[in-house]
Amino acid sequence: MSFYPSKGAWGLLFLICVPLLVAGYFGYRVMTSVYKQEWGNGVVIRADEYVQSGDWVFDCEYGRLVSRRPLPVPIAELERVGKLDIGQSYLKEEDRAPAREALKAITGRKDWYRELRYAYSDLEESVVGETSSLKAHRFTMLANHRGGTWEVDVWHWVGYGDSEFSVYIEPYDEENHVDHAKALKQAAQSCPAPQ
C-alpha cells in the first residue's frame, strides 16, 4: 500500500493553494499600503508603487497624485481634438451665464491652451487590488475676461483608452486655486509617511 498522493490529489492541492497564496499576497500588500485614500464605502485609491518610483507624490487627503516634475501640456493632442467637451461645473446660478461667455471668449483665442500648466493627476479608484491606475491629468490657467479673473481647467482623460479632454471654468478664488506648487506641498504634508 502506497501513501504517495496521486496526480489528481496534487492537482487539487495546487488549485487550492495557488489562489490562496496569491490572495494572501495581495491582501498583505493592501493591508500594508501606506499611500492610500479611503472613501469609506470600500473604495480605496492606492499609490504605493507610484510614490516608490520617486517620480510622484500622493495626496492622502484628496486622493490625487502629483508628478514631481510638471507634466507637459499635450498640445499636439489638443490641437488634433479641436473642440473640447465642456464639463459640468458646480457654479452658482449667477455665475453660469458669465462663465459661459468667458469660456467662449477665452477658448476662442488662437492658441489659448498654450498658457495651461500642469497641476496634478487623478487615480482610478479600485474596490479590489493593490494599486490604482492613472485616470486623468489636470492642467490649469488663469485668464482675464471683462475685468474678472477666471480659472480654466482642462482635464486630460487618459485611463479609458483614447485620450479625451474636458474643459471647466469658474471664477478665480485665490484660497481654493490649486496649481502644481500648491498641490505638491499639500501632498507632501498629507500622508503619515514621508515621500
| Residue range 48-66, pLDDT digits in tens | 888 888 999 999 888 899 9
> What is the model's pLDDT at position 169?
93
> What is the model's pLDDT at position 82?
72
* Domain total of the chain: 2
Tell me the pTM.
0.78
C-alpha distances in angstroms, 162 versus 62, 77, 81, 159, 185?
26, 11, 11, 8, 31
State whether 25 and 42 are in the same domain.
Answer: no
Which among 44, 34, 68, 71 is positioned nearest to 54, based on CA atoms? 68
State whether 112 and 40 are in the same domain.
Answer: yes
State whether 113 and 21 are in the same domain.
Answer: no
Identify the domain containing residue 9 by its residue range.
1-32
State whether 63 and 12 are in the same domain.
Answer: no
Which residues of the chain fall short of a pLDDT of 50? 1, 25-26, 28, 30-31, 127
CA 147 to chain centre: 32
> What is the model's pLDDT at position 28?
47
Q: Is 195 within a domain? A: no
State whether 43 and 9 are in the same domain.
Answer: no
